[in-house]
Chain A
Amino acid sequence: QQQVKQSPQSLIVQKGGISIINCAYENTAFDYFPWYQQFPGKGPALLIAIRPDVSEKKEGRFTISFNKSAKQFSLHIMDSQPGDSDTYFCAASGGNTPLVFGKGTRLSVIA
């Protein structure tokens, strides 16, 4: 059972554009929603996280939007740069449930 569904699988964005990755979850007990970035040959690194008491969180060029009623959350990367080209994972946890990950989105930012 996939508890967090992530889309798209891959994404190509022009330099300077907005990259948008979406995730949907099923377990209403989830109350912590992080995004991880994975460089090739490395483990995932925490990028930004949100809790359901806010609908949006912004850190630099990265923004998480959260819709509790729809059980969806998304990552927006503003002014996307070639250096942002990596694999991004959404995740969720809550209660006694360990962190469960989406299947990842491979982002390519082209000049």
Chain B
Amino acid sequence: KAGVTQTPRYLIKTRGQQVTLSCSPISGHRSVSWYQQTPGQGLQFLFEYFSETQRNKGNFPGRFSGRQFSNSRSEMNVSTLELGDSALYLCASSLAGGRLNEKLFFGSGTQLSVL
């Protein structure tokens, strides 16, 4: 079974631009969560989608948004990029057949650098 696939692997953007990151979950997984990882803050929860609906949202500004498609693939968008948005963005999928966020399977992430 293929794992969680995130594209692109690396991105370089400048301040003020916007970016879209993509995530394909493991086949059969209906929940997709997004996390931001930085050396100082560790992994911080952005949002979680299940069956195309946002089920949970972390404490991030509205510049961060996401969506999920009918095939469970998900995208996240960051508008008006700031230097502090430089981070590794991780996507995780789970079956979500039962409890929220059990057994998350992470992708390798998208490393975003904002110059």
Contact = CB atoms under 8 A, between A and B. Distances in A.
Question: Do A and B come from the same complex?
Answer: yes
Main secondary structure of the interface of A (DSSP, over half): strand
Given A96-B56, A101-B42, A43 B109 contact: yes
B43 A101 contact: yes
A66 interface: no
Interface string B86-102: 00001010000001111
B101 A43 contact: no
Contacts of B48: 98
Given A89-B42, A89-B43, A100-B45, A46 B100 contact: no
B66 interface: no
Interface in B61-115: 90, 92, 99-109
A34 B58 CA distance: 20
B42 A46 contact: no
B56 to A, nearest CB: 5
Contacts of A102: 42
A46 B104 contact: yes
B24 interface: no
Contacts of B104: 46, 99
Report which residue of B35, B41, B42, B99 has the largest number of chain A beta carbons within 10 angstroms of its beta carbon.
B42
B21 interface: no
A77 to B, nearest CB: 20
A52 interface: no
B4 interface: yes
Contacts of B103: 34, 46, 49
Contacts of A36: 106
Given A43-B107, A93-B102, 13 more contacts: A41-B108, A43-B4, A46-B104, A46-B105, A89-B42, A89-B43, A93-B101, A96-B56, A98-B33, A98-B48, A98-B56, A99-B45, A101-B43
15 contacts: A41-B108, A42-B108, A43-B4, A43-B90, A43-B107, A43-B109, A49-B103, A89-B42, A93-B100, A98-B33, A98-B48, A98-B58, A101-B35, A101-B43, A104-B42
